[in-house]
Structure 1
Amino acid sequence: MIKLTKTQKGYVLTIVASAFLLAGCNSDKPAEAKQSTKTQEATVEQTAMKSYQPPSLDKVPEGPLGDSIKYGYKLMHETNTVVPNNVGNNLACSSCHGTAGTDATSPLTGVTAVYPAYNPRAGKVLTIEDRINGCFKRSMNGKPLEATSDEMRAMVAYLNYISTDVPIGIKERPWVVKNSMQNVPKPDLANGEKQFQQSCSQCHGADGSGTGPTTGPVLWGDKSFNIGAGMGRISTAAGYIKRNMPLGEMGGIKQGSLSDQQAADLAGFILAKERPDFAEKANDWPLGDAPADVPYELKSSKK
């Protein structure tokens, strides 16, 4: 049969074998044949999208759309300087989402294909614009963008561009590995400080003040992410550090060689430092399903 499928680029016609054919012409088991069809389609989708490479910025179309995409890239890479009124620290989106969300540190490729999506922290379904503004309020310790602003349109245009050909509604993005650690060991802060000075201070500064949003982001203090940011949870911070740090060999440590204990020690040391508060934090996880490592009290926990 002919199937019309919605993608980032529009609608695509594909030929899908009917349940009758997949069942080997056995009309006695139509339900099983239908299930087989769905299973095969899902397998084909996941196999086809096992890896994904977004289109190059060199291929951005000419004209207003292309200009918006390029502006979105600039916003991702230079957030604190391009929209200083919306950013309250010295970070950029690329501080965590390397190379404007296109490298393996914390990929944003395909993200617009999975939104709108339910967000447990918010306790409701969020649009991609909601999710962007969540980062502005938390990771950027700033103010949300106007939903109809040129800046918001540009960021969405850019995220759509780096999601080209990813099927809308895809259930999983196999190329995205979450920066999270299960069963985080109890951190040794003294060892974390020693490890930080040995392997991290060259880029992030001995006092955590950083050397630049993309070269060595500020890790604590009033110019860093606030307590409500995802990176404020030790499971996320330890997972990110273990997977990605250091970017180059530092102090005898190579990328990906840290043990769970070393990553937990570093994350514990960093998160024990002072950072900005988040006024709305008590309203997070309103349905009471908060992770165990949320570092602040919630209204839902009192119910």
Structure 2
Amino acid sequence: MMMLSKMKKGYLLALLSLVLIPAGCSSDQTTAKAKPQSKETASVKQTAMKTYEPPSMDKVPNGPLGDSIKLGFKILNETKTVLPNNVGNNLSCSSCHGTAGTDTTSPLTGVTAVYPAYNPRAGKVLTIEDRINGCFKRSMNGKPLEASSDAMRGMVAYLNYISTDVPVGTKERPWVVKNSLQNVPKVDLANGEKLYQQSCSSCHGADGAGTGATTGPALWGSNSFNIGAGMGRISTAAGYIQRNMPLTEMGGIKKGGLTDQQAADLAGFILSKERPDFAEKANDWPLGGAPADVPYELKSNKQ
């Protein structure tokens, strides 16, 4: 169901008024007592993995585990084709997580090592399965997977595979750059529309309907992400656009060449368009602390 015009009007006003978004034991067995671990040693251990290169799909093992990993890889690239009953738009996981989560757009490498993890939006600790289903409900505007389904097992197997050698319990993944613009300037929707037609419409369509799930996904309308998706927040959308768009030089703009103002204008223009609603949105951030750019009313704000 598309958002009511009242909701759209309220969000437009919020965009136009937005100015800033605030952004062990010793290994020496000859001593009687264990030597305390120095702060320097602990720091080295915590920061040793600065980069990470996931194993190639060419090295996937044979047998049932390999088959499950390959299924997960296929799902990330062809989500709607493989799971038509769970996807409510024309996007795939790779629409945001490029190259099945292994490139720099929004990497999923190492993600299973950080879960379970507390999620402020949910107000509780989530498993990796919970996180996957959150994307299906929001970014894919669809339905969650059964936890015991082959599809869920395959996605987890694939995410585990591209997280090989990342220690379980890892808190930070330095190779993952967060797609977020910390200080969002006041949005100029007219300039955003101009920039969109200049550098985005050839891939995403003049009407935002897209030309392909991975080459040019839908950015608004019934076949795009819903209002509850992370990309529905202007700071996230602007950060993603600035880091990753356009894929190749278009309209005189090169990848990574957009200013904060241009990225904010583009994000504001895109998010000012109608998109599917998310019925559970008011329950987000139940314990409070919601970011300033959440584009909908929350129950926690009224308590």
* Superposition TM-score, scaled by structure 1 size: 0.89
Q: Show the counterpart of 2:164.
A: 164
Alignment partners' CA distance in 1, 2:287 and 2:164: 34
Q: Is the 8 A contact 2:26 2:37 kept in 1?
A: no
Q: Show the counterpart of 1:135.
A: 135
Q: Show the counterpart of 1:34.
A: 36
Summarize deviations over 1:33-68 as a string: whole Å, max 9, x none: 6251x5413413422x10000000000000000000
Does 2:225 match 1:228?
A: no
Alignment partners' CA distance in 2, 1:182 and 1:19: 49
Q: Show the counterpart of 2:18.
A: none
Q: How does 1:270-285 map to 2 (within 5 A)?
A: 270-285=270-285
Summarize deviations over 1:197-225 as a string: whole Å, max 9, x none: 00001110111011100000000001000
Q: Show the counterpart of 1:75.
A: 75
Q: How does 1:251-262 map to 2 (within 5 A)?
A: 251-262=251-262
Summarize deviations over 1:258-288 as a string: whole Å, max 9, x none: 0000000000000000000000000000001
Alignment partners' CA distance in 2, 1:262 and 1:110: 32
1:171 CA displacement:
1.8
Q: How does 1:106-185 map to 2 (within 5 A)?
A: 106-185=106-185
* Alpha-carbon spacing, 1:211–1:16, altered in 2? closer, same or farther (3 Å): farther
Q: Is the 8 A contact 1:102 1:109 kept in 2?
A: yes
Q: Show the counterpart of 2:58.
A: 58
Alignment partners' CA distance in 2, 1:151 and 1:78: 12
Alignment partners' CA distance in 1, 2:288 and 2:138: 20
Q: Show the counterpart of 2:45.
A: 44
* Alpha-carbon spacing, 1:119–1:255, altered in 2? closer, same or farther (3 Å): same
Report the aligned-residue RMSD.
1.9
Q: Show the counterpart of 2:244.
A: 244
% identical equivalent positions: 79
Summarize deviations over 1:69-89 as a string: whole Å, max 9, x none: 000000000001110100000
1:183 CA displacement:
1.2
1:243 CA displacement:
0.5
Query: Which ranges of structure 1 fall in alignment gaps of 5 or more residues?
Result: 1-14
Q: Show the counterpart of 1:286.
A: 286
**Structure 2 counterpart of 1:34, one-letter code:** P
**Structure 1 counterpart of 2:164, one-letter code:** T
Partner of 1:99: helix, strand, or coil? helix
Alignment partners' CA distance in 2, 1:45 and 1:120: 24
Partner of 1:100: helix, strand, or coil? helix
Q: Is the 8 A contact 1:51 1:175 kept in 2?
A: yes
1:170 CA displacement:
1.0
Partner of 2:36: helix, strand, or coil? helix
Q: Is the 8 A contact 1:19 1:34 kept in 2?
A: no
Partner of 1:203: helix, strand, or coil? helix
* Superposition TM-score, scaled by structure 2 size: 0.89
Q: Is the 8 A contact 1:50 1:175 kept in 2?
A: yes
* Alpha-carbon spacing, 1:124–1:254, altered in 2? closer, same or farther (3 Å): same
**Structure 2 counterpart of 1:255, one-letter code:** K
* Alpha-carbon spacing, 1:20–1:291, altered in 2? closer, same or farther (3 Å): farther
Query: Which ranges of structure 2 fall in alignment gaps of 5 or more residues?
Result: 1-24
Summarize deviations over 1:226-276 as a string: whole Å, max 9, x none: 000000000000000000101111111000110000000000000000000
Q: Show the counterpart of 2:10.
A: none
Alignment partners' CA distance in 2, 1:222 and 1:134: 18
1:158 CA displacement:
0.1
Alignment partners' CA distance in 1, 2:28 and 2:94: 45
